[in-house]
Amino acid sequence: MLRRLGNYNLIGLVLGVVLLGVVSMSNADEKSFSKQPPTVAEAEAFIKNAEAKMLELSVYAARADWVKATYITDDTEILAAQADERAIAGQVEFAKQATRFDGLKLPPELSRKMHLLKTSLVLPTPADPQKSAELTEIASRMEGVYGKAKWCPPGKDKCLDIEDLARLMASSHDPNELRDAWVGWHQISRPMRKDFARFVDLSNQGARELGFKDTGALWRSKYDMSPDDFARELDRLWEQVRPLYVQLHAYVRWKLREKYGDQAVPASGPIPADLLGNMWAQSWDNLYPLVAPPNADPGYDLTQILKSRNTDAIGMVRYGEHFFSSLGFAPLPQTFWDRSMFVRPRDRDVVCHASAWDVDADQDLRVKMCIDITSEYFSTVHHELGHNYYQREYREQPYLFRDSANDGFHEAIGDTIALSITPQYLVKLGFIDKVPDPSKDLGLLMQKALEKIAFLPFGLLIDQWRWKVFSGEITPQQYNQAWWALRLKYQGVEPPVARSEEDFDPGAKYHVPANVPYTRYFLAAILQFQFHRALAQTAGCTEPLNRCSIYDNKEAGARLAKMLEMGQSKPWPDALEAMTGQRQMDASAIRDYFAPLEKWLEEQNQGKPVGW
């Protein structure tokens, strides 16, 4: 996950700054300014000033937010909330001032900057200072509740944080233990429910003041197409991949039914959410031992290899850096190693959710992680570094263009690199002696599908829920019921125990209390395979797509760098074309990548219920 505190994290995420009055005008100045007919020269001067001030604010903001995330106390939360209010109010002020130039014919680059300035907000605060302060306080408080949350099992000495629970959900096959852990964690979000309802109300007020119908409409306006067209584009992409997901769901369901029995898992209905190896049932890769195809063991276990080599957290990150260096990218700066958080501190509460940071919109790159020595974290490291390298490549762009072509691109780059963590790559690292026989690919594809394909509907539904909440289609009295209706529709999962409107299960997922838009992850899940296919072709790979790695290929690295350095300076179809030669997002690369597995799943599901 990206946590970039430059550009759209100043514009979009909760920030911290303590520079008072930096973008404010006096009433007299504002009145005089607003009466003058706008000119292109004034628009240029306005943007130049805005970019300079936003860069200044973002650097301070990043440092303040870093402290809050890596040292959670009442004081850091209060200070961050106060700072957030001023930073977001400043950004909203710039966005409102930018509307003065609506209708003025501007040069293309200047016009694009105006558009980004007005549409990149994620947390628009109302103009009323008291309401603005209330909104930012709520935002900081909800993220703090999540970051400090633990579940204390009855009769046990130790309380469990989300990392402890993630390990339990991944390893346990005791249905009672899994159910208790699931229910225990989902209790932590109940206190957020009232706050979230007020958060929605205040955020919508801010969005309407900027000319948007609601906050969801604001979020959908940043994709170089109309909000309605963007929604239709998501539907099109989902329909491209849904047949593969349905086959995977059916196969996993009957394998779980074999494991846990008829009473625990229905023959043709949704799967209980606590049995899928992940707290949110968003990825199912921990189920692999239960669902692995026969004779598909590739003959190695990456987690065990890493541990046998005494790999530590720093070593994990060094492997990721080495991959990018092999493509021709410069090493990470020393400050990255000095300032990043790689392991959970023993003396304080932190937000362990993995994130990448661009503190000064230049070279102060960092990651914030609590790394375990596992194959999953090995991929996560590559993912987070993808953000950092993207950030560094576009640092020469003007400030408003220092971002990814769209937010799905930022998430996709690291995962594109992670798709190159193939047996061929592991041989080059000296982890294994030889590449397994192609007959073993089915198991590797199953492992990847349990991670990637299982995620797709979850990646789509979180913002489907939030957009409906922001629009009022889902009222506070329906939050939980509507949440599970969407999870049933898209994922085919259900809660393990009865839920009510006293619960607030969406808040048990970090991105909801932290106000991080989630559609980017769905887009990334599509784009990474499209990127991988294009880069593999550039690297001259003639093997099946799942066997291709671009490691140590400078030509592929140069093509990647060309797209990264564009930042957000052009509409995303231009950046997509620079990378892939295509101007439309295309999920066919997913079906290409998993074609052998999809055929096998269809064979296995013959005569068994498919769908829910």
Nearest to 146 by CA among 473, 461, 507: 507
Residues of the chain where predicted confidence (pLDDT) is lower than 50: 3-33
93 is catalytic: no
Q: How far apart are CA 608 and CA 125, in angstroms?
A: 52
Q: Give the angle subtended at the CA of 8 by the CAs of 5 and 9, to the nearest 5°.
A: 30
> Residue 13 corresponds to which tokens in the numbers above?
């995420």
Q: How far apart are CA 231 and CA 222, in angstroms?
A: 12
511 is catalytic: yes
Nearest to 165 by CA among 176, 151, 154, 155: 151
Supply the DSSP symbol for 169: H
Q: How far apart are CA 29 and CA 37, in angstroms?
A: 15
pLDDT tens for 297-345 read 888 899 999 999 999 999 999 999 999 999 999 999 999 999 999 999 9
| Neighbouring-strand partners of residue 341 | 368
**Pairing state of beta strands 493-494 and 365-368?**
unpaired
Nearest to 479 by CA among 511, 510, 457, 501: 501
Domain boundaries, the chain: 9-145+196-211, 161-191+229-297+456-508, 302-333+373-453+519-604
C-alpha radius of gyration, the chain, whole number:
24
The catalytic residue among 85, 93, 384, 393 is 384
**pTM higher than the cut 0.95:** no
Nearest to 65 by CA among 57, 123, 200: 57
Tokens 């550009």 identify what position? Answer: 7
Q: How far apart are CA 271 and CA 455, in angstroms?
A: 15
What per-residue confidence (pLDDT) applies to 6?
37
Q: How far apart are CA 56 and CA 481, in angstroms?
A: 44
Q: How far apart are CA 460 and CA 466, in angstroms?
A: 11
H, E, C per residue of 311-365: CCHHHHHHHHHHHHHHCCCCCCCHHHHHHCECCCCCCCCCCCCCEEEECCCCCCE
Tell me how far apart the terminal alpha carbons of the chain are, to the nearest angstrom.
31
Q: Quick check: helix, strand or coil at residue 476? A: helix
Tokens 């295309």 identify what position? Answer: 586
Q: What secondary structure does DSSP assign to 359-406, as a single string? A: TTSSS-EEEE----SSHHHHHHHHHHHHHHHHHHHTTTS-GGG-S-SS
CB atoms within 10 A of CB 599: 11
**Pairing state of beta strands 355-358 and 365-368?**
antiparallel
What per-residue confidence (pLDDT) applies to 34?
54
Helix 554-564 to helix 519-538 angle, to the nearest 10 degrees? 140
